[in-house]
Chain A
C-alpha cells in the first residue's frame, strides 16, 4: 500500500507537469488553430534560461526572467513565422512548427552544448515524510505550484475579460472580430500563456533529481498522447490526459514491469491514445463541435 501511494504521488506530480505542457498545446491550438510542435523547445529554453539566471539572482526573479524571455521568444515566433500561415492547410502549419522546433533545438545546442547541467527546481533534494510515504519536496512543490497555476488559468479563462475573449476567438474568429476583439492580440496572448506554462513545467521537469539537458524538449512531447487522450480542445482534458500519462508511466514501471520485457509502460500512453481515438475521436473531454440547432 505504501508503495502504491508512493508511486501514485510521483505519478500525479509527473502527470501535472505533463498537464501543464499539454495545456499549453491546447491553448495554442484553440487560440490560433496551430498545433505547435515547437512547444517542447519552449519548455527546454525555459529551463536553460532559469539555469543561466539562477546564479545571478533570487529564484523568483530568475523564474520571472525566464518567463519574460520565453514569452518574448514565443511572441516573436508567433508574429513572424506563424501568423502569416493562419488559414493555410494544417500540413503547412505543422511543417512550419516542426522546422521551428529543429531551429530552436539547434540554437539550444549551439548556445548551451549537448551536455547535461544542474537541476533548476525551486526546492532541493529534501523530502517530507507522511506516515510511511516519502514525499520528495520537489514533487510536493510540483503538485502545489501546478494546482495553483492550473486554478489561476481556469480563473483567467472563466472570470476575466481577456479569458472570455480568448474563448470567443477559439470559438469563431469572425464573430470575435465582430465584437471588437483584436484576434491577432488573442493569438499572441494564447502563445504567451502557453510559453508561461512551458517555463512553469520546465522547472519541474528539471527538478531534482532530473537535470537540464537538451532532451527536455523531446521529453515534453509525451504531452501529445495526453492531449489526444484528453481532447484537443479541452483545457480540462489536457490536465486529465497529463495525469493519465504520468500515472501510467510511474505505476506501470512497477506493476507492469514483468509484461512485455518491461517496456509496456513506455508504449502504454500511445496505446491508450489509439484506443481513445478509436472510441472517442474527440478525446475524453473534447467536444464534438456543437452545431447550431
Chain B
C-alpha cells in the first residue's frame, strides 16, 4: 500500500515534466487536402486514436486483451481497406496502471495528439478526467460498461452495461429456479463496498422486486484488500441464499466460489461478464458447474461471422496472444470507432465535433457478436440484451441460451433516469 502512492508520485512527476509545453486543446488542425476538416491527431495520412487502459496493473489482463480487440479491428481496416478516409488509423496506447492519478497524467499527455479515445478502462480513472473530457469535447468509448460512465458527458458505452447483465442474469436464474408467487427463492448479492457496488446493488434490488418469487436475504460487500471471504460466504450460506449474484471482479471470483465449495455451500452463482477471466478455469476446476456468466456480448467460442472475423484479425495482428474474452469487448469498441470515423469522413468532418455528430444515432451491426445497437443520444443504454454462458474447458465461456432482454432491465433504466 505504501509503495503505490510513492511510485505514483514518482511516475506522475516524471510525466508532468514530459507533458510540459503540450496544451490539451481541442482546436482544429485545419482542413486536409481532400477538404476534410481535421481535428487533433488527424493529418492527411493518419488518424490517431488513443486507448487509455491498464497495461501493467491489477486488471491488466483484461486491459491488454481489451486493447488487443481494438487494435485488431483497426489493423484489419488498415490492411483490408487502406484505413479510413484515405488515412491510416493508429492506436496510441497509454498505461494507467489502474491508478486515477496516473490516468490523469496519461489522458493529459494523450489528449492533444488524438482525435478520440477508442477505449477507456477504469471507472475511477474516467471519473478523474471527466472534466477534461467535457472541456476537450473528447469522444470517449468506455470499456467500464456501467451506467456511471454512461452518464458522463461525451462518454459512450457501446454495449449493454454490467447492471443490465446482472439484472438479466438474476431474472434468468429466478426462472431456472422456478421462482413464482407460490415458490419463494432466496437470493444474495455480493458487491464491492464503494459507489460502483452501490449502483449494482440498486440494480439487483430493483430486479429482485420486479421478479416474482424472489426474496433478498443477504448482501455482503467486499473491499479490494480482502483475500479471505469466510465472512461473505457464511453470511450467504447462513441466510440460505439459493442464487448468488456476483457484482465482482476476477480478483474475487476464485475466493468466493472456492471458499463456498469448502464450506459445503453450492448455490447458483451468476456474475456479469466483467467478473470472469478464463485463467480462473484451472484453479476452480470442478467447482464451476453452477456458475454462470451473464454477458452483454458474445464469446470467442461462438460460431458467427463477427467472431470469425475477430479471430482472423487477431491471428493476423497478434498471432501469439492468448485468447481472452475481453478482446470481444475491445473489438466492439473498435468497430464503433471505425463506423463513427467513416460516417464523419462522409460528412467531411474529422474533428471531435464531427465524430460526436457521427456517433449520434449511429447504428452498428456486429455480425451477431451481439444484436445491432443504436448509440442514440450517447447517454442512453444501447441495448438490454444479455446471454447466459457457462464455463467450459480451459475456462472459456459457452452459451447456454440465446440473447434475451428482460422487462426488469428496462424498468430499472426508466426508474434510474427519473
Contact = CB atoms under 8 A, between A and B. Distances in A.
Interface of A: 3, 6-7, 10-11, 14, 37, 40, 98, 101-102, 106, 109, 113-119, 125, 127, 134, 136, 205, 208-211, 213-215, 218-219, 221-222, 224, 249-250, 253-254, 257, 261-263, 265-266, 270
Contact of B279 (A101, A102, A117): A117
Contacts of A115: 61, 277, 279, 322, 324
A262 B193 contact: yes
Interface stretch (B81-89, B218-226, B372-380): B218-226
A245 to B, nearest CB: 10
6 contacts: A3-B234, A37-B3, A114-B56, A114-B61, A253-B231, A261-B221
B303 to A, nearest CB: 26
B3 A98 contact: yes
B259 A221 contact: no
- Which of B224, B227, B229, B277 has the most CB atoms of chain A within a 10 A radius of its CB? B227
Contacts of A209: 254-255, 257-259, 262, 283-284
Given A115-B279, A218-B3, A210 B223 contact: no
A109 B258 contact: no
A175 to B, nearest CB: 33
A136 B279 contact: no
A263 B193 contact: yes
A98 B7 contact: yes
Interface of B: 1-4, 6-7, 55-56, 58, 60-61, 63-64, 193-194, 220-232, 234-235, 238, 250-251, 254-255, 257-259, 261-264, 277, 279-280, 282-284, 287, 322, 324
A119 B2 contact: no
A116 B277 contact: yes
B282 A117 contact: yes
B128 to A, nearest CB: 19
B3 A266 contact: no
Contacts of B1: 218, 221-222, 224, 270
B254 to A, nearest CB: 5
Contacts of B56: 106, 109, 114
- Which of A208, A221, A249 has the most CB atoms of chain B within a 10 A radius of its CB? A208
A6 B230 contact: yes
A134 B255 contact: no
Given A116-B61, A118-B283, A14 B227 contact: yes
A272 B7 CA distance: 24
Contact of A114 (B64, B193, B259): B64
B231 A210 contact: no
Contact of B283 (A208, A249, A254, A262): A208
Nearest to A261: B193
A128 to B, nearest CB: 10
Contact of A125 (B4, B63, B258): B258
B3 A40 contact: yes
Contacts of A40: 3
Given A249-B228, A261-B193, A263-B223, A101 B3 contact: yes
A125 B263 CA distance: 10
A257 B232 CA distance: 10
B224 to A, nearest CB: 8
A134 B262 CA distance: 8
B11 to A, nearest CB: 9
Contact of B251 (A117, A208, A215): A215
A214 B98 CA distance: 14
When A and B form their complex, which 8 residue pairs have the shortest distance between CB atoms, in order from nearest?
Answer: A209-B258, A262-B193, A254-B231, A114-B60, A262-B221, A266-B223, A253-B231, A115-B61
Given A209-B283, A250-B230, A253-B232, A218 B4 contact: yes
Contacts of A261: 193-194, 221
A113 B7 CA distance: 20
Given A7-B230, A117-B283, A211-B279, 20 more contacts: A6-B230, A7-B234, A37-B3, A115-B324, A116-B277, A125-B258, A125-B287, A211-B280, A215-B58, A218-B1, A218-B4, A221-B3, A224-B1, A249-B226, A253-B230, A253-B232, A265-B223, A266-B224, A266-B226, A270-B1
B223 to A, nearest CB: 4
Contacts of A10: 228, 230
Contacts of B223: 262-263, 265-266
Contacts of B322: 113, 115
A257 B192 CA distance: 11
A217 to B, nearest CB: 9
Nearest to A127: B262
A134 B263 contact: yes
A257 B220 contact: yes
Contacts of A250: 228, 230-231
A211 B283 contact: yes
Nearest to A134: B263
Contacts of B6: 98
A224 to B, nearest CB: 6
A266 B193 CA distance: 10
Contacts of A119: 283
A254 B279 contact: no
Contacts of A215: 58, 251
A150 B277 CA distance: 36
Contacts of A211: 254, 279-280, 283
Contacts of A117: 279, 282-283
B261 to A, nearest CB: 6
Nearest to B221: A262
B255 to A, nearest CB: 5
A34 B259 CA distance: 38
Given A208-B283, A221-B2, A257 B257 contact: no
A219 B58 CA distance: 11
B342 to A, nearest CB: 33
A254 B61 contact: no
Nearest to A14: B228
A134 B265 CA distance: 11
- Which of A106, A219, A253, A263 has the most CB atoms of chain B within a 10 A radius of its CB? A253
A249 B7 contact: no
B182 to A, nearest CB: 33
A141 B172 CA distance: 40
